[in-house]
Amino acid sequence: MNAPAGFADILIEDRGAVRIIRFNRAGKKNAITRAMYTAMAQGLETAETDKAIRVVVIAGTDGVFTAGNDLMDFMEAPPTIGGGDMPPVERFMRALLGATKPVIACVDGLAIGIGVTLLLHCDLAYASDRSTFKTPFVDLALVPEFGSSAVLPGIVGRVVASELLLLGETWDASRAEAKSLVNGVFPAGDLEAEVMKRAEALAAKAPNAVKKSKALMTKGVESVYTLMAEEGAEFAAQLASEEFKEAVTAFLERRPPDFSRFG
C-alpha cells in the first residue's frame, strides 16, 4: 500500500492496481473546495497515464461521502463552465468524463449536490444502507450541473428525476438502488470491502478489453460536454441573480428562503 499523497483534504492511495481518491474533510462534511477539485482531477489524470493503475475508486470518510460544494469557497470564485480559464470543478468534471479506465463510487452516508451527480458518470456505484442522496440545486436558486439535466432522466426517467432535480427530495439508499442510481447497497461496515472486491476483480480483467468496452458504452460523451457548457452558462447566470442572493442569505441566517417576490 502506498502512502497517501496529494492535498490534505483529498487522499490518494494506490492499493495494487486500484487507486482510491478519498474526500478527507470530515469536519466540514467533505464539502469540496477548489483545491480539492484540483487534487481529484490530478488523481484521475495521473491514473490515466499510470499503466499500473487499472481502476479508480472515489470514496469518502466514515458516514459522509460529500456535502457538495463548499458554498463560501464557491462564492469566492464562481466558476464559469466552458468559458476561458478552466475552473477546478470543470477540470475535475472533464477528467471524470474522459476517464478511459473504470471508476467506481463508494458512497457511505451523506451525498449532496455533485456528490450525487458525479455518480452518473461513474461506471459502477455502491452505497451503504445509511446513505442519503439529495440535489438541492433549485432550493439554492441554481440549476443542475455536470450533464445531470439529461443523464439522470435517461437513467431513472424524467418524472422520477424531477423528485431530485426539481423537488430536491432526499432519497434513501433503497430508493437509490431501486431507481438504478447505485448498483447495490451494503451494511456500512462491509461497504468498502465489497467495493474493493469488485474493483480488484475488474482490475484483473484484460485491460484493453475493459477500456474498449467502456468506450463503446460512453460514445455519447461529447454531447455531455456540450450540455455541461449550456448548464454552466445558466448556472453562472443564476449565481448573479437576486434569487441566489436570497438563497445564500437565508442559508447563512438559517431560515427558509422567501422567493415570493420573484417570478
> Domain locations in the chain?
1-187+215-263
What span, in angstroms and rounded, lies between the C-alpha atoms of 224 and 240? 24
By the 8 A CB rule, do 23 and 66 touch? yes
Give pLDDT, residue 3: 39
pLDDT digits (tens, 9 = 90+) for 134-168: 999 999 999 999 889 999 999 999 999 999 999 99
Inform me whether the pLDDT recorded for 1 exceeds 80: no
Stretch 101-113: mean pLDDT = 98
Inform me whether the pLDDT recorded for 176 exceeds 80: yes
Listed ranges 72-81, 208-217, 236-245; the one with the highest mean pLDDT: 208-217
Stretch 242-255: mean pLDDT = 92
Give pLDDT, residue 86: 86
Residues for the chain: how many in total? 263
Grid cell locating 152:
439522470
Stretch 120-133: mean pLDDT = 97
What span, in angstroms and rounded, lies between the C-alpha atoms of 34 and 91? 10
By the 8 A CB rule, do 54 and 101 touch? yes
pLDDT tier at 218 (50, 70, 90 boundaries)? Answer: confident
Inform me whether the pLDDT recorded for 233 exceeds 90: no
What is 1-187+215-263's CATH topology?
A: 2-enoyl-CoA Hydratase; Chain A, domain 1 (3.90.226)
Q: What share of the chain is helix, strand, coil (3-state, %, to 5)?
A: 50, 15, 35
DSSP H helices in the chain: 34-49, 71-76, 88-97, 114-117, 148-156, 158-165, 173-178, 188-203, 207-217, 221-239, 242-252
pLDDT digits (tens, 9 = 90+) for 24-60: 999 999 999 999 999 999 999 999 999 999 999 999 9
Listed ranges 89-93, 168-172, 228-232; the one with the highest mean pLDDT: 168-172
Instruction: Tell me what percent of the residues of the chain surpass a pLDDT of 90.
Output: 78
pLDDT tier at 256 (50, 70, 90 boundaries)? Answer: very high
Give pLDDT, residue 235: 87
Pairing outcome for strands 18-23 and 132-134: unpaired
pLDDT tier at 4 (50, 70, 90 boundaries)? Answer: very low
| pTM above threshold 0.95 | no
By the 8 A CB rule, do 141 and 244 touch? yes
Give pLDDT, residue 250: 93
Give the phi and the psi of residue 153 in degrees, each rounded to 5: -60, -30
pLDDT tier at 2 (50, 70, 90 boundaries)? Answer: very low
Q: What residues have CB less than 8 Å from 28, skipping those under 6 apart?
A: 67, 70
